[in-house]
């Protein structure tokens, strides 16, 4: 259940009053039902839920405050149903540890940098298959945390890298990470387009070597040629290209695609130049995205 504190309300007193309604023999003795209230100190809303936690996903924004009717201080096993965690750390004071543990995460959405509170919640990432990482800056701390997180996720197959600031350089993308299998990579939201040089570097990097599905934005069409030629495991490519004339014209028309000709020069160019590079290339367009499928 989600609700809001009233303006000028004494929050601690309100939470205790709320929890007292669940500190009855009916809840505690007869059924062994417990509840927990969580809220953010700078926000007016709060969440109230039963323990053990019954849902498969949870969103946490640090710092968080908790109070519960649970008789033990150790909450390490009451969140074992959680498979998806969305986490955001909004403070620079990150030395506090959490009493929550997530042992079976399969999907993670996290904004870096994070502190000890986050790392204490995730003692293992062995089950993690999907990860979306947003970086607030290009600091060494973010880069180190990025690599440390991925090094702990041996089963990861989908990785989405995003930059919170649009002017962040795509050169900060940590390409030289472990070559553990990551079948799907999404690099379209990192704040820029890959030029020819970066595409060549990326296509030879451990991050790309076993990639089967790639989402990327490039500056020019020759970069697509290098990606297709070099990434031998690639099975499907979703690419947006800055020199796609149809894309530019559509954007200039405020999203209203008014093509007078059915000929697609960009797709025709790709078909001509890729036919001898990879066998059985199927190319189609979906609005601004070119989709290439390889057999």
Residue-wise pLDDT tens digits, 40-50: 887 788 889 99
Residue 206 is classified by DSSP as: T
pLDDT higher than 80, residue 78: yes
Output 3 or 272, whichever has higher pLDDT.
Answer: 272
Domain limits for position 154: 54-253+265-293
Model pLDDT, residue 225 = 93
Model pLDDT, residue 171 = 56
Distances (CA, A) of 180 to 71, 170, 231: 42, 22, 15
**Lowest mean pLDDT, pick from 5-14, 153-162, 174-183:** 174-183
pLDDT higher than 50, residue 69: yes
Q: Decide if 133 is inside a domain.
A: yes
Pairing of strands 57-62, 84-89: parallel
CA dihedral 128, 52, 113, 182 (to 10 degrees): 10
Q: Decide if 116 is inside a domain.
A: yes
Q: Decide if 18 is inside a domain.
A: no
Q: Decide if 152 is inside a domain.
A: yes
Mean pLDDT of the region 114-121: 91
Model pLDDT, residue 268 = 92
Q: Which residues of 126-158 are buried (b: 16+ CB within 10 A; e: fewer)?
A: ebbbbbbbbbeeeeeebbebbeebbeebeebbb
Q: Decide if 30 is inside a domain.
A: no
Model pLDDT, residue 260 = 47
Output 102 or 74, whichever has higher pLDDT.
Answer: 102
Output 87 or 95, whichever has higher pLDDT.
Answer: 87
Q: How confident is the model at residue 250 (pLDDT cuts 50, 70, 90)?
A: low
Q: How many domains, the chain?
A: 1
Mean pLDDT of the region 163-180: 56
Q: Decide if 28 is inside a domain.
A: no
Residue 28 is classified by DSSP as: I
CA 126-92-67 angle, 5° bins: 70
pLDDT higher than 80, residue 84: yes
Model pLDDT, residue 167 = 46
- Residue 108 and residue 132 in contact, taking contact as beta carbons nearer than 8 Å: yes
Q: Decide if 138 is inside a domain.
A: yes
For residue 294, cis peptide bond before it (omega within 30 degrees of 0): no
């Amino acid at each position: 259940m989600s609700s809001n504190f009233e303006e000028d309300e004494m929050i601690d007193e309100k939470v205790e009053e709320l929890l007292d309604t669940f500190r009855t023999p009916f809840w505690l003795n007869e059924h062994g039902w417990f509840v927990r209230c969580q809220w953010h100190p700078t926000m007016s809303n709060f969440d109230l839920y039963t323990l053990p936690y019954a849902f498969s996903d949870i969103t946490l924004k640090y710092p968080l405050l908790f109070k519960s009717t649970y008789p033990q201080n150790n909450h390490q096993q009451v969140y074992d149903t959680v498979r998806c965690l969305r986490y955001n750390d909004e403070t620079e004071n990150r030395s506090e540890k959490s009493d929550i543990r997530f042992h079976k995460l399969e999907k993670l959405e996290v904004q870096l940098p994070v502190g000890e509170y986050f790392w204490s919640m995730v003692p293992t990432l062995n089950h993690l298959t999907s990860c979306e990482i947003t970086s607030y800056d290009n600091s060494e701390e973010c880069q180190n945390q990025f690599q440390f997180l991925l090094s702990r996720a041996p089963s990861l197959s989908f990785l989405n890298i995003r930059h919170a600031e649009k002017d962040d350089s795509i050169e900060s993308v940590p390409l030289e990470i472990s070559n553990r299998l990551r079948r799907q990579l999404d690099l379209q939201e990192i704040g820029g387009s890959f030029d020819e040089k970066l595409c060549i570097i990326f296509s030879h990097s451990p991050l790309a070597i076993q990639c089967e599905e790639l989402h990327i934005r490039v500056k020019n069409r020759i970069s697509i040629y290098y990606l297709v030629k070099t990434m031998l495991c690639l099975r499907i490519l979703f690419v947006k290209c800055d020199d796609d004339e149809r894309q530019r014209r559509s954007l200039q028309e405020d999203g209203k695609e008014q093509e007078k000709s059915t000929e697609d020069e960009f797709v025709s160019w790709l078909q001509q130049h890729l036919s001898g590079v990879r066998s059985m290339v199927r190319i189609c367009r979906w609005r601004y995205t070119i989709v290439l499928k390889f057999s």
